[in-house]
């Protein structure tokens, strides 16, 4: 069985009896509350701070990689261009294959959104 429970800044995951507790960083909590306006601008214009907020969002929920992405200065344009390459994600410290798959899937969603924005 699998369950997920979020209690304030703490998330609890269980799969087949193995329990994982993850603490959401206070930075991410502040970001979620105060800066969701990055979603209103084209993804290609996101700065590194916007990418960091996206990583902390409920959609992606991989805040542990935010420092690596920021250190690399990854902006929205570079995320759209290189964010689906395994080698690039590994270089950014994303060692988990499942996390790389999640990031690649979400980058493909961003690409689709970017194309829709350009067509409007």
User: Are 104 and 89 a contacting pair, CB within 8 Å?
Assistant: yes
The model carries a pTM of 0.69
Q: How many CB atoms lie within 10 A of CB 72?
A: 15
Confidence of residue 28 (pLDDT cuts 50, 70, 90): low
Q: Residue 68, Cα to own-chain centre: how many angstroms?
A: 12
For the stretch 41-79, pLDDT in tens is 888 888 998 898 899 888 899 999 988 898 899 999 999
User: Are 53 and 38 a contacting pair, CB within 8 Å?
Assistant: yes
Q: CA torsion 109→26→24→48, rounded to 10°?
A: 30
**Is the model more confident about 99 or about 43?**
99
pLDDT of 19 > 80? The answer is no
Q: What is the DSSP-derived secondary structure letter of residue 57?
A: S
pLDDT of 80 > 80? The answer is yes
């Amino acid at each position: 069985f699998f369950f997920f429970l979020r209690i304030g800044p703490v998330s609890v995951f269980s799969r087949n009896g193995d329990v994982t507790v993850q603490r959401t960083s206070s930075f991410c909590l502040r970001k979620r509350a105060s800066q969701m306006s990055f979603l209103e601008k084209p993804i290609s214009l996101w700065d590194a701070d916007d990418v960091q907020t996206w990583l902390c969002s409920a959609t992606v929920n991989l805040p542990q990689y935010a420092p690596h992405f920021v250190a690399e200065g990854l902006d929205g344009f570079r995320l759209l261009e290189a964010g689906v390459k395994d080698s690039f994600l590994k270089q950014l410290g994303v060692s988990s294959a499942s996390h790389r798959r999640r990031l690649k899937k979400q980058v493909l969603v961003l690409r689709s959104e970017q194309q829709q924005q350009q067509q409007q």
